[in-house]
Each structure stands twice: as C-alpha cells, then as structure tokens.
Chains A and B, each alone.
Chain A
Amino acid sequence: MNQRLLHTPEGVRDVYGKEYERKLETENRLHSLIASYGYDDVQTPTFEYFDVFSKEIGTTPSKELYKFFDKEGNTLVLRPDFTPSIARCAAKYFMEETRPIRFSYKGNTFTNTSNLQGKLKEVTQMGVELIGDPSVEADGEMIALVVESLKAAGVKEFQVSIGQVEYFKGLCQEAGLDEETEMDLRACISGKNFFAAQELLQERNVADPYREVLLKVADLFNSMNSLEDAKKLVHNDRSLAAIERLEKLDAVLKLYGVEEHVSYDLGMLSKYNYYTGVIFKAYTYGVGNAVITGGRYNTLLSRFGKDAPAIGFAIVIDDVLEALSRQKSEIPTKTVQAIYYDPTVCGDFEKALREATGLRSQGNNVALLAKGSEEGKDVSK
C-alpha cells in the first residue's frame, strides 16, 4: 500500500466517530437557537473572486488566502470567513429591501497560516449577520445571542468583552492624530502593547493631555474600570456618543438577563478599519483565542453598493468543541443498536430486517449485522 496516500496535509484533518457526532450535535443546538431568533439560513460559495476578500473588505491578509485561477485567469479565493460573502449576497439579492434582514450561515473556512504552529487551516464557522438595523436593540440581540449560544453549546465559564471603536476614533480626532499614527496606535493597542504605544506617542509628538488619555486606553491595568470613568476622560461628541451607546446597550442586556457574562473594554480594538461601532469577543478556558468574535460594520455593505448598517458574529465551532473537551463537558451522543442475523439460515435475514425496520421507524438507530462477523463488538464506534 502507498503509505503517502493515507496522510492529510498539515492543518486539515478527518473528523469521524464520536467526535464528529459531538460536532454535529453542537452545530444542531446552535443552529436551532439561532433559528429561534428568526434567522434564515444562507449558503454562499466556498470560493469567490479575490476582490470580495481584498484588503479593503476582508480581515485576512492576502498572503494567508488560498488563491487559485479560473480558466479566464481571474484570481479566486477559498473563503477565509463568511462576512464579506454574506454582505455581497445581501447587496445582490436584497438591494431594495429596507426592513432588517437576518442571515445565518455555517460552513468551512480556509486560511493559509504558517506551518508547525498547531493551528488548523480549515475550520468550521457558524454565524449570524443582522443587516439593515442600526439600533441598540440589534446590538443587544447580537450579544444576547452570543451568550445564549455558548450556554446552548454547554460551555460553562465564559466571558464576553465589549468595546466600542468610536470611543478611540473620537479620541484620535480630538488629539488631531493623522491617519498613519492612528493606524499604528491601533495596532499597538489591539496588541495591548503599552510600551510601543508610549514610544509611538512620544515619537510623533502627540501633545499632553491627549497622550495621557490615549495611553489610558492602551493600558489594560488602568483605573478606567467603568464606563463612568471613561466618560470623564473625553470631551468630544464622538467618544461621548460611544459611551452613551454602551450605556444604552447595558440596559438592553439587563432586559435579556445576560449582564453577568459581560464586561466592557474600551481598549479592545481591531487592527482593521472594518468595525464602526460595538465590537465583542467571547473567551473561555481551554482554547488560546476568542471562540466568538463580532461587531458592527456599518460601511461594509456600501462596498457592494447597498448602503445598510450591519452587525454580526462568527463562532469557531472547532474551538468551541476543543474548549468543551478540555472542560470535560459532556455532549450526549446517540447509541446504535445491533441486530444480528444468520446468513446460513433461510428467512433469518427477513426476520431481522423486519425487526430493524420496526425499530428504525420508532426513531432508533439500528445496524444490521451478519452473525459471527461482528458479534461482541461495539458497533457505535
């Protein structure tokens, strides 16, 4: 046998048996939860034109995209995430729609990350996008859904952090930072790199008191514990509006009864210029990165010609499963019953088949097995 044929490339893998069953069960639970909030399923292609995921729109660097060509020489890309595809799809088919659109999706995504770092290159994501609703209630629905999703999946301890990128943008405006400095500073702060931020502000001659205030945003361990504190630091309308929005959101989350899982972090920023309002991440023990990420992106759809606000999030199913298994959280799996027949006895198969059909129609999982071959073996494996 050719041993080489048996291997899968680095970063992709087979999922089978109990593990796959658990994965499907988790997906089903999440899917029915999302459906219960009135989200419609959509399926978009696995690969699209490069431009859909380009730098201006997507959040995956070009070198981490799987690219190939069609027969006409167009560059195609295996989707690294769903949001651009859903935005394109909504703009294409719902251009005239003014009522909010609720989409949910599930599928595999592909990123060509470095080798030998223990990261998967193909992961399953499930997520939602709520398009055409700019309200704080929409923000609340998203975050409530994040909390309920993790509960439905059986994750025990988790934390949802909420930021508001407008707070930082307002501050930068107030301080009169140029675009480049703002971008560089955002990269420092999103990496919680206090020293680099400090150095950068010094180097670019940012005046006090702004320097100090911007550093407070960068500093994880500052005294800015509450929205109240954050409010006192700023004097511009944009940042104040951002805080006000979070205060309103907090009230909505209390109505949903999910406030105990939520904390606010105004230093949470994305490296990308993509989010325009709230931004959130959900964390749990057992995995090294956030299991859910999302936020509001009110300008993305206009790239596809539809001027509509939108908010959404994506759950990395594989990470949720890893967290569940590390947390030793049980997911019930189905059992398979075995019915044996003796192929050497005339009519025995017919009898066994009748029995199996009866059990199957009652919702049982039944495997038919010839006697002698499989006896004593657990067929559910």
Chain B
Amino acid sequence: MMDGKFNDERYLTFALGKGRLANKTLEVLEQIGITCEEMKDKNSRKLIFVNEELKMKFFLAKGPDVPTYVELGSADVGVVGYDTVLEENRNVYEVLDLGFGKCRMCVCGPASARELLLHHERIRVASKYPNIAKDYFYNKKHQTVDIIKLNGSVELGPLVQLSDVIVDIVETGSTLKENGLEVLEEVCPLSARMIVNPVSMQMEKARIRDLVLRIREYLSKQA
C-alpha cells in the first residue's frame, strides 16, 4: 500500500469503522458520486478496495483502530464514532460531523445510584471507555472514582455488584430498561465523525477540501 502512494497520482486512503457506520458512510459517499464497486461484493475476501478512476482506496477496520491508522498516516481519512475519537484521543483533525449514528454517552445505573453522584463520593464505575469516564468524573464532576475497564455487556456491572454505575453508549435505552437501569446523567452526544491525518490535510489539501465540502453540502440538503 505504501508503494502505491508514490505513483504519479497518489491514492487517497479511507479507513472506515466496521459495521453500520461503514455502510452508512458508503451510502453518503455514493450520493456525492464516490463509489467503490469492489466493496459491494459481499463474498470478497479482499482487505483493501480500490477505485482506480478516482485514485481512492478503502479498508475496513475495527472502530478503535481507525484513529490509529489515521494518526500514523496509513489512512488519510477515517470515519468513526465520536466515542472512539474521544476515547483514543489521537493527534488527528476532526473535520466533519456526519450526523448519522446519533446516540449519547451516559452515566447509567439503578435509580438508587443517583444519590451517589451528588456528594463527590468515591464510587466504582465500569466502562468500555475508561478515558471518557475518567475525564467526565475527574475534570467535569470533580469526583474521584475507581474505574473498571470492561470489554462488553457493561450493563452487567451494577447487576452483579461489580460497580455502582456504568458509563456507556445509550441509543434507545431499552437494554437499560429491561435490566432495571436508567440514564442518570448525560456525558455528551455522539455521532459519526470524519477525521483526517494532519500531514494529509496539508499535502492533499485540494482533494480533501473538495471531499469535505461536497459531503457538507449533501448533509445540509438532507437536513
């Protein structure tokens, strides 16, 4: 892939967070005339998809890895949830709010735990997002907490007395409700973001600028 970068015309490389986000991103790109036929073939085992005409490459990566690819310059542009951008806190430019994938980062727990958030008590917080949780409690609420990193099904935390509350993404809140938990506080709203490598931003200014302006125009028409 690195070799390809120094052809007469350089490829613009995109790293997309796997799953719904990537599909939605490809939809938006298609609307502004950027397609990648290779990617539509669901049976393909290829890891990197190329649009030779537009000199663009696309690859799918696990969400938290997208900022890493972009920071180190392996991808020029990345699309990933704002939760990942905050959690990874990498040196990348955040150029566009794509508006989809909307949800919220919240502190959740049983209703009885609401009291624990009021008096700067030392409590236990379970989360997939230790950095976000830490920033929220330490710098915004000024509450010292013990953070426990979990890798999934975070809602279990308060149910099995692993933690007092959790910090997690809330979309509809139905998982919470079914398990007797509720949103106690909102940390921040989330949505998909487009991030850019700082060097690419300078070296490929015209192309990235054109791309962002076109997506922006499309999004404002939708709104």
A59 to chain B, nearest CB (A): 14
Contacts of B212 in A (CB 8 A): 220-221
Contact between A221 and B209, CB atoms less than 8 A apart = yes
Contacts of B6 in A (CB 8 A): 285, 326-328
Contact between A289 and B199, CB atoms less than 8 A apart = yes
The segment from A45-53, A65-73, A191-199 found at the interface with B is A191-199
Decide if B201 is an interface residue (CB 8 Å cutoff). yes
Contacts of A281 in B (CB 8 A): 202
- Map CB proximity to B onto A103-146 as digits: 1 under 8 Å, 0 otherwise: 00000000000000110000000000000000000000000000
Decide if A299 is an interface residue (CB 8 Å cutoff). no
Which residue of A192, A221, A286, A328 is within 8 Å of B94 (Cβ)?
A192
Contact-size category for A: 20 to 34
Contacts of A159 in B (CB 8 A): 202-203
Decide if B197 is an interface residue (CB 8 Å cutoff). yes
Decide if B71 is an interface residue (CB 8 Å cutoff). yes
Contact between B95 and A192, CB atoms less than 8 A apart = yes
- Map CB proximity to B onto A292-329 as digits: 1 under 8 Å, 0 otherwise: 00000000000000000000000000000000001110
Contacts of B2 in A (CB 8 A): 286, 326
Contact-size category for B: 20 to 34
Contact between B199 and A287, CB atoms less than 8 A apart = yes
Contacts of A337 in B (CB 8 A): none
Decide if B93 is an interface residue (CB 8 Å cutoff). yes
Who on chain A is nearest to B198 by CB? A289
- Map CB proximity to B onto A183-213 as digits: 1 under 8 Å, 0 otherwise: 0000000011111100000000000000000
Interface centre among A157, A193, A221, by most chain B C-beta atoms within 10 angstroms, is A221
Decide if B32 is an interface residue (CB 8 Å cutoff). no
Contact between B72 and A285, CB atoms less than 8 A apart = no
A265 to chain B, nearest CB (A): 8
Contacts of A118 in B (CB 8 A): 68, 72
Contacts of B10 in A (CB 8 A): 285
Known contacts A220-B201, A221-B209, A289-B91; A326 and B5 CB within 8 A of each other: yes
Who on chain A is nearest to B202 by CB? A283
Contact residues of B between 1 and 58, Cβ < 8 Å to A:
2, 5-6, 10
Who on chain B is nearest to A328 by CB? B6
Contact between B199 and A288, CB atoms less than 8 A apart = yes
Question: What is the bound-complex CA distance between A281 and B5, given in angstroms?
Answer: 22
A251 to chain B, nearest CB (A): 23
Other A-B pairs, 13, CB within 8 Å; known A192-B95, A221-B209, A288-B73: A117-B68, A117-B71, A117-B72, A159-B202, A191-B94, A192-B94, A193-B94, A220-B95, A221-B212, A263-B202, A283-B203, A286-B73, A326-B5
Q: Which residues of B contact A (CB under 8 A)?
A: 2, 5-6, 10, 68, 71-74, 91-95, 97, 196-199, 201-203, 209, 212-213, 216
Q: Which residues of A contact B (CB under 8 A)?
A: 117-118, 157, 159, 161, 191-196, 220-221, 263, 281, 283-290, 326-328
